[in-house]
Structure 1
Amino acid sequence: MSSDRVPERAKDAPSPTKLAQTITAQDMKRHLSTIASTEFEGRETGTDGQKKAAEYIARYFQKLGIPAIGNDGNYFQQINFFAENWENIDLEMDGTPLRHLWDYYAMPADNESRDWKDIDEVTFLGYGIDDPAYSDYKGTDVAGKAILIYPDEPKDRKGNYLVSGTSNPSDWFENLEKKLQVAKQHGVEVVFIIDNDFKQNVSNARREILNRRLAMVESLPEDRNLANSVFLSSEVAKKMISGEFKKVVKARKRIQKKGKLRSVSIPVNLRLRQEKSVRSLVGENVLGYIEGTDPELKDELLVITAHYDHLGKRGEDIYFGADDNGSGTSTVLEVAQAFAQAKSEGWGPRRSVLIMLVSGEEKGLLGSQYYVEYPIFPLENTIANVNVDMVGRVDPKHEEKGNSDYIYVIGSNRLSTELHQINEDANARYTQLELDYTYNAEDDPNRYYYRSDHYNFAERGIPAIFYFNGTHEDYHRTSDTVDKINFEKMEKIGRLVFYTSWELANRDDRIKVDVRP
């Protein structure tokens, strides 16, 4: 910034006090009365109610003149969690059940769900390769059949791989997906794969197959067009081949000698069932981006968060989530308005600010976890996270004292003493709330430091501060409703959130990480 602009900016820029006055109890009540309404049905991630809440937030950002920076030119970062597991997986040979993860294994993600299928013939098809340089499919019709293959790539008598023609294998060697795609194209029903490293591979597969948790994915899997597949131990493969063993050995030697396969038809008595369950959770983080005005600082980013999801419906009962976390959502929307107004008047924050309302918090901090795994802006440029989660009620401790003008502050000094002091100074100068650090203690049995969205930032070394009013008798109950919210208290806390955020976004120096975790 040139020296001649500084005095002009200092003279004309709106004061933080003027901007903070746009944060009002009346506006907060208006937001919350919509967000925690019956129409939004408790905003459980993945439901219509959550989508309606996301649209409400996006429309408000648009009204403020905040540009859309999300997926496909909208205000959303889609969050995707996905899991495929076996519901029933069974393989019988000659009427005898084989043991999954002992005699054979199959990966749910690589298979379509199918009911019992009787198999009376398996075609030995070498290595399952179909390439101009070498093809196991040439001259063999396998449509509607089961095939048996080896997983790697054949060599000639000189030790060169048949596809590459050199001592280095082609991508057929390890690319099993390619083999399953080719099998699907040829109409193969199921591919049995002889796994010579079965013991090691089944151990690795077991962890993935038995994991029931939803996994984070950058995008939901599309149809990969793979033939169904089953990996067999060498022992089970020999039993399957049985009386045709010599023919299979001869066919394999012929590949090495002549570079051609003569397929072998193997009579079998098999039954196979592969039935799986598929679960997905798709939510949206809603992004409001206010670009910084200082060319030297605008690449640095302050992230302000609150989760807007809640528990949804159970039967006809709605968990409205007015305090948890409609209060935090409404507060952050008002903070967004103050920043947007400063920007519209030509004096926006020096650093960039991302106002992010996240979903999936009630499922395990999933929305914020997704953002730090797939950040819109580099995490190394993120200076701090300011997180607001439940700020609309008075807990029993402070109710007994007759004091509603308080806020629990958590995490402010865990990574940066400067962040802690900035919040202290802002409160002393502007809001004069009681800052209660009870839940910031490292031995706090409630472990609130680890239970809200700021933790995903702090875990990656980004200083974070969490504003929280404590729990109450309506926490996670259908009785957490708008009529019980203290909006005057919310207004004061919202202004403190803004003053602290404004200082973080406008101070000359980025706050330092000076506390060892």
Structure 2
Amino acid sequence: MKKSNLLFLFLLVTNTVLAQLNNPPALNAITIQDLKKDLYAFADAHFNGRSAGTLDELKASMWLADQYRAIGLKPAGDDGTYFQYFTLWRNHIADNASVVINNTTFSLWKDVAVAQMANISLNAPIVYLGNALDIDTSKIDVKGKVIAIEANAKGINLNVSLPTWRYNRYVFTKYGLPLIKKGAIAIIFIADDVAENAWEDAAENFKRGTYDIDGGVNENVTTTVPVLWFHASAKALLQQNTATIKANLIVAKYPYPSVNVVGKIDGTDAKLKAEYLLYSGHTDAHGIRNEIKNDSIYYGADDNGSVDVAMLANARAFIKKPAKRSVIFVIHGAEERGLLGSRYFSSHPTVPIKNIVAVLNGDMIGRNTTDSAAILGMKPPHRNSLDLVTMALDANNEGPKFKLDDTWDDVSHIEGWYFRSDHLPYARLGIPAIMYTSLLHPDYHTPQDNAESINYPKLKKMADWMYRTGWKVANATNRPATDKGFKLER
């Protein structure tokens, strides 16, 4: 054999051995077969999209707890169970609310949508100001008046995910909020073409109202100025400035249950086992909503079933070979309602909060090209631990070798995604925290986010990356340090 061939063979064997030495000991416990089997079960139509505060979310949580038990995790919720229940407070417009203009009754959600709730009875003339672009709020007196304007999309950036969910909010911020600050007692928007196209999605969101936990800013409705949307056809009734509105808006408040699913694996080191690495995901998706492409179940396979089954896979690995530190797995409830489960657990932890050394959160890790991914919390000001980020980057270089897109971590990124997932409440407490993601895709928050659409080799690589990082954190001599002076921009 030629010396060059011998050298090549030597280098090949050496690199293979070095790669294996870099592998954490139970990497082979994470398999595509398990990920696929679990995700098809979890994102099945049986759970009706796992909407927060419903029996469907609770049933899916029971399924997750059954998997914890089968894997061998110890219960780490309340009262020796895998569960930490908490109350969601839902505020929404009651079915007996009514809206009448002149003698025409408008059907709630079909003809009129309430975008901002208020407990109020109105009987007042409507002042019609025309198109939003033509209004100079500095020159008009709106105090004590019901104001109607036509929506206009000019100057509003809709190059964003879920534009049909966001457009009404953008219009309100740009045109409605200044009128409220000047004293308007109600705002009526007349839909433009963009709002008409967004009506079904927007009305579905408005119909659900707001949710919060005890003590949250949305536990009670404190707004006193309602915001109503009417179809473009209502313009003829309003533009002559002779219309009067009689509206009886009633806000109903109900408690609903949600739950965090919590299990743990004890560490092996007599001292370090008192500290915890926390893996984080969320149970809920968006339930049953308006139909898209002949389906109305929002399965949430990528968002966030992909992370939940990756956590199960990571749990199998840590059970096979425990680390020095303990590992706690928290699949939060009601993330889609405003990070409610993670806000609750971080304020009512079932282990000492000071003993949680790092949070590895995931949100959507199963789509897009197999060789690309991202972590949020990698760049300041979102980075709160250089130590943790270094471990994650080293884990990537040793294993999946993803090309990392760091633009989503920019303060100026339109999505502001850092603030929209379950690592956030922990990061605000100064706990080192990052979020793994394979980024958004066209099926985000639609029924087409199903198990069939997942890139399973990609999901395997993401699960491996989370495990590689976790193994480093859970065995490091020193816990990751929080960056000095860490402060988020909002």
| TM-score w.r.t. length of structure 2 | 0.60
1:318 partner letter: I
Q: Which residue of 2 aligns with 1:152?
A: none
Query: 1:279 aligned to 243, 250, 254, which one?
Result: 254
Instruction: Find the structure with the greater CA-based Rg.
Output: 1
Residue by residue over 1:316-370, the C-alpha shift from the partner in whole angstroms, topping out at 9 and shown as x without a partner, is: 821111111111111111111111111xxxxx21111111111101101111011
Q: Which residue of 1 aligns with 2:57?
A: 50
1:410 partner letter: L
2:312 maps to 1:333:
yes
- Report deviation, 1:72: 3.2
- Matched ranges for 1:189-200 at <5 A: none
Supply the distance in 2 between the matched residues of 1:86 and 1:323 (Cα, whole angstroms): 31
Supply the distance in 2 between the matched residues of 1:69 and 1:415 (Cα, whole angstroms): 27
Supply the distance in 1 between the matched residues of 2:288 and 2:463 (Cα, whole angstroms): 29
2:326 maps to 1:357:
no
In structure 2, relative to structure 1, the CA distance for the partners of 1:334 and 1:86 (3 Å cut) is closer
Q: Which residue of 2 aligns with 1:302?
A: 277
1:287 partner letter: V
Q: Which residue of 2 aligns with 1:36?
A: 43
- Report deviation, 1:71: 2.3
- Report deviation, 1:22: 1.0
In structure 2, relative to structure 1, the CA distance for the partners of 1:213 and 1:22 (3 Å cut) is same
Please state whether the residue corresponding to 1:71 is helix, strand or coil. coil
Q: Which residue of 2 aligns with 1:481?
A: 450
- Report deviation, 1:468: 1.0
Supply the distance in 1 between the matched residues of 2:302 and 2:411 (Cα, whole angstroms): 25
- Report deviation, 1:83: 5.8
Please state whether the residue corresponding to 1:357 is helix, strand or coil. strand
Q: Which residue of 2 aligns with 1:421?
A: 390
- Matched ranges for 1:74-473 at <5 A: 74-82=81-89, 214-217=211-214, 277-314=252-289, 317-342=296-321, 348-394=322-368, 403-413=369-379, 414-473=383-442
Please state whether the residue corresponding to 1:313 is helix, strand or coil. strand
Please state whether the residue corresponding to 2:431 is helix, strand or coil. coil
Supply the distance in 2 between the matched residues of 1:69 and 1:510 (Cα, whole angstroms): 22
Supply the distance in 1 between the matched residues of 2:92 and 2:454 (Cα, whole angstroms): 43
Conserved 8 A contact 2:212-2:337: no
Runs (4+) of structure 1 exceeding 6 A deviation are 84-87
1:59 partner letter: D
Q: Which residue of 1 aligns with 2:4?
A: none
Conserved 8 A contact 1:68-1:287: yes
2:307 partner letter: G
Conserved 8 A contact 2:409-2:418: yes
Supply the distance in 1 between the matched residues of 2:422 and 2:454 (Cα, whole angstroms): 22
Supply the distance in 2 between the matched residues of 1:19 and 1:513 (Cα, whole angstroms): 28
Conserved 8 A contact 1:412-1:463: no
Q: Tell me how large the CA RMSD over aligned residues is.
A: 2.3
Supply the distance in 2 between the matched residues of 1:422 and 1:59 (Cα, whole angstroms): 31
Conserved 8 A contact 1:407-1:435: yes
- Report deviation, 1:469: 1.2
1:407 partner letter: A
Conserved 8 A contact 2:53-2:88: no
Supply the distance in 2 between the matched residues of 1:67 and 1:300 (Cα, whole angstroms): 16
Supply the distance in 2 between the matched residues of 1:215 and 1:57 (Cα, whole angstroms): 23
In structure 2, relative to structure 1, the CA distance for the partners of 1:38 and 1:381 (3 Å cut) is same
- Report deviation, 1:214: 4.3
Supply the distance in 2 between the matched residues of 1:491 and 1:276 (Cα, whole angstroms): 46
Residue by residue over 1:133-156, the C-alpha shift from the partner in whole angstroms, topping out at 9 and shown as x without a partner, is: xxxxxxxxxxxxxxxxxxxxxxxx
Supply the distance in 2 between the matched residues of 1:21 and 1:405 (Cα, whole angstroms): 20
- Report deviation, 1:60: 0.9
In structure 2, relative to structure 1, the CA distance for the partners of 1:86 and 1:428 (3 Å cut) is closer
Supply the distance in 2 between the matched residues of 1:214 and 1:480 (Cα, whole angstroms): 24
- Report deviation, 1:435: 2.0
2:467 maps to 1:504:
no
Supply the distance in 1 between the matched residues of 2:212 and 2:468 (Cα, whole angstroms): 38
Gaps of 5+ in 2: 1-20, 95-208, 216-249
Supply the distance in 2 between the matched residues of 1:468 and 1:85 (Cα, whole angstroms): 32
Equivalent residue pairs, number: 312
Conserved 8 A contact 2:90-2:256: no
Q: Which residue of 1 aligns with 2:174?
A: none
In structure 2, relative to structure 1, the CA distance for the partners of 1:436 and 1:86 (3 Å cut) is closer
Residue by residue over 1:230-268, the C-alpha shift from the partner in whole angstroms, topping out at 9 and shown as x without a partner, is: xxxxxxxxxxxxxxxxxxxxxxxxxxxxxxxxxxxxxxx
1:412 partner letter: M
Gaps of 5+ in 1: 1-13, 88-211, 219-274, 343-347, 395-402
Supply the distance in 2 between the matched residues of 1:15 and 1:406 (Cα, whole angstroms): 21
Supply the distance in 1 between the matched residues of 2:49 and 2:92 (Cα, whole angstroms): 29
Q: Which residue of 2 aligns with 1:178?
A: none
Conserved 8 A contact 2:303-2:363: yes
Identical-pair percentage: 35
